[in-house]
Structure 1
Amino acid sequence: MRKIKLNYFPNDSNWVGGTIEDLEFEAKVFDEPSKYGIYGGKVSKLSIDGIANYDRGWEFGEDEPFVKDVVEFLEDSTKRFGGGF
């Protein structure tokens, strides 16, 4: 897996942001999987520095190699609402 770093992961919002290698990403991550999530998971929106964009469906970049790594990383994140990070 590539080096991924979170820059923000607030307890009062579903929006998170970070970097993978030298690319910035922003995502909307929920505590539970959804039919709107990527691959039916917790990530309902994802933008990676203009190479991939998902907003309840792929706009572009689904096959970009960074996507899988970021999604797996975010899917493994701790619950925030009623949980903690």
Structure 2
Amino acid sequence: MRKVLRKSIRLNDQQIRKLGDLSAFDGSDPLEHVTRAIDEYLKKQKTDVSIPAEKEIHAEITGKVGDATNRGAFWISGIVDRYEFSALILKEPSRSGIDKGRISKLSILDPTIRESTNSFIDCCIVNYDRGWDIKPSKLAEPYYNKVMALLEKVAQ
């Protein structure tokens, strides 16, 4: 079964009136009209999203700097294909780290979305800040795995 994601939309008063008129005209439920319109729109869109294999994903570290508030900890920044990432690596493993390890914070984000929305959380595909805010989805998982493999090498 194929899962279809739909975005929440808000109709204005004029659109609601037109939808009511259309439903009164043909006797259909207004929700049926909306569903049909969304389905028609989605058919016209390219909705096939392929998940890349980890070996096809390029990841590299672009910066490393010590954390001023946590002795022995350091921040790593980098790129993973079209995304950017940053991570806080602690000196010792921690209960609050990913899998009780040394990585205490990790963000993987889309810089294009960040620039257009100016919102950090809206542009993240993965965010861990001493706990999961945004877990890796099936689409984000290969990028997350690639970054984690890179960070594990640095953390040794």
Number of matched pairs: 78
**Counterpart residue number, 1:3:** 58
1:61 aligns with 2:135: yes
The answer to which structure has the higher strand fraction is: 1
Q: List 4+ stretches of structure 1 deviating above 4 A.
A: none
Using the aligned pairs only, state the percent identity. 33
Distance 2:98 2:135 in 1: 12
Which is worse superposed, 68-77 or 50-59?
68-77
The answer to which structure has the higher helix fraction is: 2
Q: CA RMSD in A?
A: 1.7
1:22 aligns with 2:82: yes
Which is worse superposed, 65-74 or 44-53?
65-74
SS in 2 for 1:39: helix
Gaps of 5+ in 2: 1-54, 68-73, 110-123
Gaps of 5+ in 1: 80-85
Paired AA for residue 93 in structure 2: P
TM-score, with normalisation over the residues of structure 2? 0.45
- CA deviations 1:15-69 (Å, max 9, x no partner) are 1100011210011112322111111111100010010100000001334311122
2:89 and 2:155 in contact (8 A); partners too: no
TM-score, with normalisation over the residues of structure 1? 0.78
1:15 and 1:28 in contact (8 A); partners too: yes
